[in-house]
Chains A and B, each alone.
Chain A
Amino acid sequence: MNDAFDIRNMESHIEVHKFRGGAIVGATLLALMFQAFVPVYFAKAAMIDLPLLITIYFGLSRRNPSSGLLLGMVIGLLQDSLSGPTVPLGLYGIAKTVIGYLASSIGARLDTEHPAARFALTIIFFGLHQGIVLLTRRILLAQSSVWFTMHLAAAAVVNAIVAVFLFALLDHLRKS
């Protein structure tokens, strides 16, 4: 009996969620709109990375690594496009592709419905996302950035708190 067979048996009790038509596209577009629009009035809202949270949520829920990474790629590239000409296309694209893949892979192995699990996973994914963006900037773009600031730590916690409520809200978009 090989390991893969065991894992598949373990995974069999984890439910793969389907969503109502247009839910993923709608949520993605709303998140991108929010990211570009709301900070005009509330500068602190820029701290929240809604496109990332959407990537994580649908990755964890759909539990299909291929669709998770493709959704992450699309969201990331759209975010790149809306971030001005100084941000090359692919900076967020790469980071969100990897996050989409990891979220889907973890979602297929663990039960990620509990708010505490979602809180912790969002903090981890936020950190990973920042790390990938930073690595890309350092290696590919030769731009220097600091690895850790208190602002980043605060942003991770804020995003995790928002994620708990946002994910609960997005759960209503699932097909019963």
Chain B
Amino acid sequence: MNTLVGTGRLTRFILRRERARLSAWVGVLALVPVATASAFMTLYPDEVSRQALANTVASSPALTALLGPLHSSSIGGLTVWRSATIAAFLVAILAILTLVRHTREEEETGRRELLGSTVMGRHAPLAAALLVMMGAGVVLGAMLSLGLIMVGLPAAGSVAFGLALAGTSFVFAGVGAVAAQLTEGAGAARGIGVGVAGGLFLIRMIADSGVGEFDWLSWLSPIGWVSQMRPFAGEVWWVLAFWLALAAVLVGVAAVIADRRDVGAGAFRPRPGPSTAGRGLGSALGLAWRIHRGSVLGWTFGLAILGAVYGATADSVGDMLDGNPQLAEILEQLGGEQSLVDGFFVAALGIIALITAAYGIRAVLRIRVEEEALRAEPVLATSTPRLEWATSHLFFGVMTPVLILSIAGSLAGAAYGAITGDVGEQTARALSAALVHVPAVWVVVGVTMALVGLAPHRTGLSWGFLNACLILGQLGRILQFPQWSLNLSPFTHVPQFPAEKLDLLPLVALLVVAAVLVAAGLAGFRRRDIRN
């Protein structure tokens, strides 16, 4: 088929460009579950301790909703419960971003044209990107399976876990391939793809919220299939066919759309815009709003839904207790049902705060993106002062997280209150519980701004910092990391409000750290050369 000519060469070219990024992702995604497994082995060596942990998990529908159901109290079962759903979600995001990056983004920047004029078939770029991503998925699955077998887990479960992640990568490479066909802009394509992945994650979460009546929903979500495959708990091998079939359909759809459109065009036609600028578009902030508008709305909308779903699932904690008077009695002594719900809110809002911090990083890194894309230069050659330009982007990194956490927190409280019948009080509680995370998010924003101002070629470290916070926060306690390392994450210092009393001192300390980092970053930016 001559539309695929050059796929091999292009595949090697993409691998060359991706070698650092993709291998880092694959390595971390394969290693974290293996490390989790070996930590479980040391921390929970006997069946009794594991059963106790399993009982705790089963009694907390919140944990099940966040991480998926626990099918077995074996080491393998615990490992899959702890790491599989999040790993699958991250694989999905990786697959979508990689596909858009090597198809739509190449078209948008015009690099695709340069390659297209050489001996290269029309479908070669899409085929090469799919090959690379699916290949990466297979490598990830194989590394994971081998790693788990090497630490001593049963082979069948290890292979099933690996295949589940590989299958996920296939499906979401397909999702990315379709998304990349739809719009002319890579940003919008990424938005569509990530939105689909987020929606499927939410469907899985509702299914796993522990109530029982929505269990079947889990079959609608390729992320839910990971737990339906039941690694280490009586593997259901034929689930694999679901991923393969869906991936084949998605790739087919992408190929059909790609066939019918021109290079550079999307399935959605762009409309002409205004011929003159509106009143609002005459300053750095006006321009920044136009640049950030889409992502502000997208992230706020997505996290608002996540908050509402968390709130709605919180009530299942109560349902659980109704059927278990003994457990209820024990909990009564520990502080009552409310303490369980509060603990759930702390955990759920903590996750929303981490995702919000990811938004914050992206918003601040816009400064570098604009600088590198040579779009900063013409603006800074006008009477716009440097600091005003930088703060116009920083503004969104600082203020949007407040907006996101307010809305997501309020909706979580309102959804829970609507079920329990006290919307007002619950909304206020959850809102303050969400806002408590703002200073920690601002520290991440501050780290990013400091890098932009002082080490513009090292801004990727801000993602490393957030990853470290994620690993420390999600795995640190279960893997018994030393306290000093946990203290490195600003999220460690966030008061566990409303589960515990609100301590203002750590919040003030976080605010000071964030302010110092931002000030250092801005000062550095004011003094340095504008360079791409």
Instruction: Decide whether A and B assemble into one complex.
Output: no
| A contact set with B: CB distance below 8 Å | none
On B, residues with C-beta under 8 Å from A are: none
